[in-house]
Amino acid sequence: MSSFWNHNITVSIFGESHGPAIGVVLDKLPSGEHIDAEELKNFMARRAPKKDATSTQRRETDMPNIISGIYNNYTTGTPLTAFINNTDTHSQDYNNISKLARPGHADYTGALRYKGFNDVRGGGHFSGRLTAPLCFAGAVCGQILERRGIYTGAHILRVHNIKEQKFNPCEVTREDIIDLRHKKFPTLNDKKGAAMVADIEKARMSCDSVGGVIECVVTNVPAGIGSPIFEGLENSIAQLVFGIPAVKGIEFGAGFEAAEMLGSQNNDEFYVDDHGHVLTKTNNHGGILGGISSGMPIVFRVAFKPTPSIAKPQETVDISNMTNQVLEIKGRHDPCVVPRAVPCVEAAANIAILSHMLSYPNF
């Protein structure tokens, strides 16, 4: 089952963009964990469409209906199931293009994989709408982690050609992360953020779209979490991050810049601090060595492609009769998915980290 992830905890995401509802089942969570409903609401609101030019005009409340797994605000240890109603669908926008393969979308590949029976409205199960239940799952996992002092935060590092500074890879505080969560447009440099917003608006006005990069950090993960080869922390994080539609790349620490370094430049020298902790002077390894946490902040960056739904005429094919066509997409679409994807990246990291933390002694 493609939308099922299993590593100590299991995550199963279901539904289609224009179906009655979407949702998630989380299993094997520890019991007795307090879950704050208001915090869940705040996390989900960060992913929801914004009332500005950077976002789609589709309006969904995204309030999860929890039907099992939480009782009196505590996890029961049994499957946690939540669904989110779809209330603002405009399925008629897809009536005239249901057989046209939209460039950049999974219409063509989905039709091949499911023999033409896939729901194409709004992208169906391939839609970014399915990041809402992912965010719910990640928000639950995040609360469990934060109770142990582990915090995940992300900012928009780049939109199109506009880029801001990276996190300090050796030191990111809880306060830094909380501050980003309260920003309407989560950048470290507000002036750069304003320039990014203007660039998104420029793309929207020209019937186009832009992509970007999100940088994410996880602080206070103890050293020794993870495994080598196929069970590494990078593996788990990457697999969940690639479950976010529009993701095209991920790098940890120095990432691809490491290919331009000498070993003497890339290696992070160890030292013992005043508290007896083993740390590194730099953090090119991004907090993970051999698939296992080093105790330094876990730092990674995620690249997002431009939104494929644009209003410009594009050449395509009608897969029902194999004829060449010209497509003009109508409807409501984000000119840039990056701002709303920030909590999605955090959610993916939360799920991955918690799944490995459950193997940690005395968790």
Residue 354 burial (10 A CB sphere; 0-12, 13-18, 19+): buried
Label residue 302 by pLDDT band (50, 70, 90). very high
- What is the domain partition of the chain in residue ranges? 4-357
Mean pLDDT, the chain, rounded, equals: 92
Per-residue pLDDT, 258:
97
pLDDT in tens, 93-144: 555 667 888 888 888 888 888 888 888 887 878 888 899 999 999 999 999 9
Angle between helices 338-357 and 131-146 (to 10 degrees): 50
Distance separating alpha carbons of residues 108 and 132, to the nearest angstrom? 24
Per-residue pLDDT, 92:
57
Region of poorest pLDDT, from 250-259, 289-298, 303-312 = 303-312
Region of poorest pLDDT, from 54-58, 160-164, 339-343 = 54-58
Distance separating alpha carbons of residues 279 and 273, to the nearest angstrom? 7
CATH class of the region 4-357: alpha beta
CB atoms within 10 A of CB 243: 20
Per-residue pLDDT, 54:
62
Q: What is the mean pLDDT of residues 63-86?
A: 95
Per-residue pLDDT, 311:
86
Do 309 and 281 meet the contact criterion of CB atoms below 8 Å apart?
no
Decide: helix, strand or coil at residue 271.
strand
Do 202 and 244 meet the contact criterion of CB atoms below 8 Å apart?
no
Per-residue pLDDT, 60:
59
Per-residue pLDDT, 333:
80
Strand partners, 273: none
Place of tokens 């992913």: 47
Per-residue pLDDT, 243:
95
Per-residue pLDDT, 115:
86
Place of tokens 């057989």: 99
Per-residue pLDDT, 100:
86
pLDDT in tens, 3-44: 999 999 999 999 988 888 999 999 999 999 999 999 999 999
Write the DSSP assignment of 168-222 as a string of letters. Answer: -TT---HHHHHHHHT-SS--SSHHHHHHHHHHHHHHHHTT----EEEEEEEE-PP
Is the pLDDT at 179 greater than 90? The verdict is yes
Per-residue pLDDT, 120:
82
Do 48 and 60 meet the contact criterion of CB atoms below 8 Å apart?
yes
pLDDT in tens, 187-216: 999 999 999 999 999 999 999 999 999 999
Per-residue pLDDT, 53:
55
